[in-house]
Structure 1
Amino acid sequence: MVRPNPLYGTGTFRRRIRVRAAPREVAVEMEDCNHGFRLRLWHDGERVTSVEVDPLRIPFNTCAEAIRPLQRALGHRLDEDEATLRSRLVPGDNCTHMHDMAVLAVAHAAAHGGEGVSTRLYDMAVDDEREGVVRARIACDGVPVHDWEIAGQPPDIPPHTLTAPPELAGRPVMRGFHAWASQAFEGMPREAAVALQRAYFVARARRHSFEPVAEHPGISDGMPQGACYSYNSGAVERAFRSEGTVRDFTHTPDLLLKFLP
């Protein structure tokens, strides 16, 4: 049985993503309270030619296997749209986080002029729910981009619904998010909105404690087929939680992307 996290309500989920685009290569690093990955993608200026992932900190022993379905990105044309890439990769067949990092890498490969080096750093913070509200925010290269308030579990408002800023009130941040966000934002603000939505999704894990990990194999979570690679049939039966992978960066955001053991 999953137990509630006794510290939930006092902390903040944090995630940091760094993207570095150079000629023919893009590197993406991501670390948060539950994960740590490094991804490198190569291209010839027209198509993806190679992708590698270093899974430094993963929730399940099976997560590293998800590098295999990610190879479907090979051959993808950089001038094709994101929807084409997502349909090629099939999100539910992949590790959610490797998948998102690959999509981000392809976008920056397509946008990068091929000369010099460009970098982008995203910092996300999702506070634990307090008085029925979750505050989520993201900065790009130290400059605030989005600052949202999201309904947690209040009785009179659907959960996972934006309540602030006023111009976005009533918009969903789970199912239906991408439909409106793709219309409301473009460029970097759209990229940041998608990143913040993902952070909000993962931040919900702070509500629970899966200790001791031996008592909480993946199959006990009851997640639907297609939720991610490790929850799919054939993997979920072998998915066992990794020891010591959950970190709390509430007061130490400077440690993110250092990938400490």
Structure 2
Amino acid sequence: MRPKPTDYMPMAADWGRGVTRRAIRLRGSPGRVDAALEDMRHAMTCTLEHDGSVVTAVTAGFHRYTLQLCPGASEPLQALVGIPLDMPVQDLFAHGRPRQNCTHMLDLAWLAMRHAARGDAEWIYSIAIPDRVSGPMRGTLSRNGAVVQDWQVEENTIVSPAALAGQSISGGLTRWLTTESGLPDLMIEECLVLHKGFFMVGARRFAMPEGALPEGYRKAVTGVCYGYAAERIETAVGLEGMGRDFSATPEKLLTFE
């Protein structure tokens, strides 16, 4: 069993007074999707090229990230070249692929794959999850300004909406959504996007390490993604100056300032 974050990370000084925010832009054009993601710890881009059926090229841009190792995740992302654009999500994320990649970049590439079928449309997903010291936490996902998901979560369990009530956000939600839920395809996409927003709440709640990673932190995160892989984590360094607070300035998301 992995230790809890409270066992090895100090609480962030401003926890309880802000908002976890993330924005994702998906912009389609003939044979190409330009995707971008920004939140308090990450600013990334992904350009995906395709022939209408399969991925023909993928380029990752790491602009703001957690570890000095993260840009190296551009290499395993190349395994997406040649796979069908409509590969089921449970297959795309099978066989340890998320652990071999930067999970945020892989998510962005997956969304770009899905967006390829939407032509020249531009979609912007926006996540907002206000800090809560106690009681249920509310998280919303908007698409082009309209709220499409509105969750209440208490002690890592979704309380509402009714279609998701009782599901845990700390494990098994992706499998349930993609294999058991029976929910519409677009709603599954929305739920997976908002779920990752709740995952990012920890980056607001706790002070992320800068410099050499503390031993307790290394033990807790070893193997979760490319940068924290067992064969790399001993050389991993938490980068300074990568954090941003968009609590009061959501309009600055996706500007990469």
Does the TM-score normalized on the shorter chain lie above 0.5? yes
Counterpart of 1:50, as a letter, is A
Superposed CA deviations along residues 229-259 of structure 1, whole A, max 9, x for unmatched, are 1110222112101111111111000000000
Q: Which residue of 1 aligns with 2:26?
A: 19
Aligned equivalents of 1:162, 1:28: Cα separation in 2: 29
Q: How does 1:123-138 map to 2 (within 5 A)?
A: 123-138=126-141
Q: Which residue of 1 aligns with 2:59?
A: 52
Q: Which residue of 1 aligns with 2:41?
A: 34
After TM superposition, the score normalised by the length of structure 1 is 0.88
Unaligned runs of 5+ in 2: 1-7
Summarize the Cα distance change of 1:218–1:107 in structure 2 as closer, same or farther, 3 Å threshold.
Answer: farther
Give the C-alpha shift of residue 29 in structure 1.
Answer: 0.4
Q: What is the count of residue pairs matched by the alignment?
A: 248
Aligned equivalents of 2:62, 2:151: Cα separation in 1: 30
Give the C-alpha shift of residue 204 in structure 1.
Answer: 1.5
Q: Which residue of 1 aligns with 2:192?
A: 194
Summarize the Cα distance change of 1:50–1:192 in structure 2 as closer, same or farther, 3 Å threshold.
Answer: same
Does structure 2 conserve the Cα–Cα contact (< 8 Å) formed by 1:133 and 1:150?
Answer: yes
Three-state SS of the structure 1 residue aligned to 2:94 is: helix
Three-state SS of the structure 2 residue aligned to 1:204 is: helix
Give the C-alpha shift of residue 209 in structure 1.
Answer: 1.2
Aligned equivalents of 1:217, 1:64: Cα separation in 2: 22
- Percent identity reads 33
CA RMSD after TM alignment: 2.0
Does structure 2 conserve the Cα–Cα contact (< 8 Å) formed by 1:25 and 1:41?
Answer: yes
Give the C-alpha shift of residue 191 in structure 1.
Answer: 1.3
Summarize the Cα distance change of 1:146–1:184 in structure 2 as closer, same or farther, 3 Å threshold.
Answer: farther
Q: Which residue of 2 aligns with 1:6?
A: 13
Q: Which residue of 2 aligns with 1:144?
A: 147
Superposed CA deviations along residues 184-221 of structure 1, whole A, max 9, x for unmatched, are 5323322111100001011112111136x225368843
Does structure 2 conserve the Cα–Cα contact (< 8 Å) formed by 1:72 and 1:88?
Answer: no
Give the C-alpha shift of residue 82 in structure 1.
Answer: 2.7
Q: How does 1:203-242 map to 2 (within 5 A)?
A: 203-210=201-208, 213-214=210-211, 216=213, 220-242=217-239
Does structure 2 conserve the Cα–Cα contact (< 8 Å) formed by 1:51 and 1:71?
Answer: yes
Could you say which structure has the greater relative contact order, defined with CA pairs below 8 angstroms and 6 or more residues apart?
2
Counterpart of 1:147, as a letter, is D
Unaligned runs of 5+ in 1: 152-158
After TM superposition, the score normalised by the length of structure 2 is 0.89
Counterpart of 2:234, as a letter, is E
